Structure 1
Amino acid sequence: MSLIIHRNGDRPSRMAPAEYFTGTVLMTPIVQAPEPASLRALSVTFAPGARTNWHTHPLGQTLHVTSGQGLIALRDGAPEVIRAGDTVYIPPEVEHWHGAGPETAMTHIAMQEEPEAETTWLDPVSDADYAKS
């Protein structure tokens, strides 16, 4: 077996699917490990006010904020501020959302294991839930 090297710029960024995100969100692949590994990682950049829908991951998710300031919330909870350098772990099957702050962009690396089941996408985050304090 040999190394797999993905060169900078080899894998283009793409707009995140509008059915699962609110606002302008760019996704850049980092890795989708070959089997038997199941690690998947993306760099995700959210414009101010942009966010994911509510969603869950079968084996949990880790976010590492690389720039800016954003928000993350669990269902029925108030959003918490996350900043560059912060790392957040969301346990398996916990409903959550994450995205930029209302006036600040935010980029994070999203990492999760996705062996067979992938992200379960739920309803959009309402403006009321986004602004909840």
Structure 2
Amino acid sequence: MVLLFSNCQQQDNNPTAQEETQSIFPKGELGSKENFTGKAWASSLVANDSTYNTLVGNVYFEPGARSNWHIHPAGQILIITDGEGYHQIKGQARQTLKKGDVVTCPPNMMHWHGASPEKGMQQMYIIPNTEKGIVKWLHPVTDDVYASEQ
């Protein structure tokens, strides 16, 4: 199983901090502790093959969960389908992501993404041109980086 993620912005009407987001896709399988802080669940939607050379899937990040820094050799597209979270490309300010945001992360750019502390986030990911490679996982995102808007 491949868990993938990349550049993107939501609101809380539920009185509980652990608000569940709504998804049209199955929750999927729990991501590896080696690649995520907190719990992230992934479901594959389109498997990689030699015809399309593209991966498509859904990831649900529980509140506070995030990916490690990582790189996609051919880039990545994210479509935020519910919730609220963050995305950051190394050397750039952290972006807030909300339902309806679409983010593109250029090839070979170190980045991370995940949910806000108060609300989970659902994202669909698209990894094109998988013949160039899929993902290179790097080090965890520190609590200071996660909390910083810089």
TM-score with structure 1 setting the length: 0.88
Larger strand proportion, structure 1 or 2? 1
Q: Which runs of 5+ in 1 are unaligned?
A: 1-7
Work out whether residues 78 and 129 of structure 1, in 8 Å CA contact, stay in contact via their aligned partners in 2: no
Counterpart residue number, 2:37: 22
Say if 2:55 is the partner of 1:48: no
CA offsets per residue over residues 22-66 of structure 1, 9 Å max, x none?
101110111014213211011000001100000010110000000
Counterpart residue number, 2:92: 77
User: Displaced runs of 4+ in structure 1, greater than 3 A?
Assistant: none
The higher radius of gyration belongs to: 1
Counterpart residue number, 2:75: 60
Counterpart residue number, 2:127: 112
Q: Which runs of 5+ in 2 are unaligned?
A: 1-23
Secondary structure at the aligned position of 1:115 is classed as helix
The alignment-based identity, stated in percent, is 34
Work out whether residues 73 and 132 of structure 2, in 8 Å CA contact, stay in contact via their aligned partners in 1: no
Equivalences, count: 125
Shift in Å, 1:98: 0.3
Residue type matched to 1:115 in 2? E
Work out whether residues 69 and 141 of structure 2, in 8 Å CA contact, stay in contact via their aligned partners in 1: yes
Which moved further from structure 2: 122-131 or 112-121? 112-121
Counterpart residue number, 1:5: none
The correspondence for 1:36, drawn from 37, 47, 51, is: 51
In 2, Cα distance between equivalents of 1:77 and 1:48: 23
RMSD of aligned residue pairs (Cα, Å): 1.8
